[in-house]
Amino acid sequence: MKTTAEKIAERFDNGTNWRDPKGYHLLDVCMSRAVAIDEKPDHSSGRYVFEDESAITIMAGAWDIGFKDCWCWAGLGHDEECKRGSK
């Protein structure tokens, strides 16, 4: 079964688009479904965690499926400074 983040990613063409075919913006969809939101103070980046603990992470004008406990992107894995480690 797909996670909420995977379903949203598919809806927005897996990281390619900010709007879905019906015109909905990714941020609006993430904010409406998230149970936890962690945004940078300047609002340039955000992590949106859903009820199933999946996440979408937006940084530097790009986005990907992420992790609930860190700012890494699933497509890139965990970076050296990640608090979750490289497991």
Query: Residues 55-65: pLDDT tens digits?
Result: 999 987 899 99
Give the closest residue to 12 by CA, choosing from 48, 52, 51: 48
Q: What is the Cα gyration radius of the chain?
A: 12
Give the closest residue to 56 by CA, choosing from 14, 85, 19, 1: 14
Helix (H) / strand (E) containing 4: helix 4-11
Please tell me the predicted confidence (pLDDT) of residue 8.
Answer: 96
pTM of the model: 0.85
Over the stretch 10-32, which tens digit does the pLDDT of each residue have?
999 987 899 999 999 999 999 99
Say how far apart CA 15 and CA 3 lie, in whole Å: 15
7, with CB counted inside 10 A (0-12, 13-18, 19+), is: middle
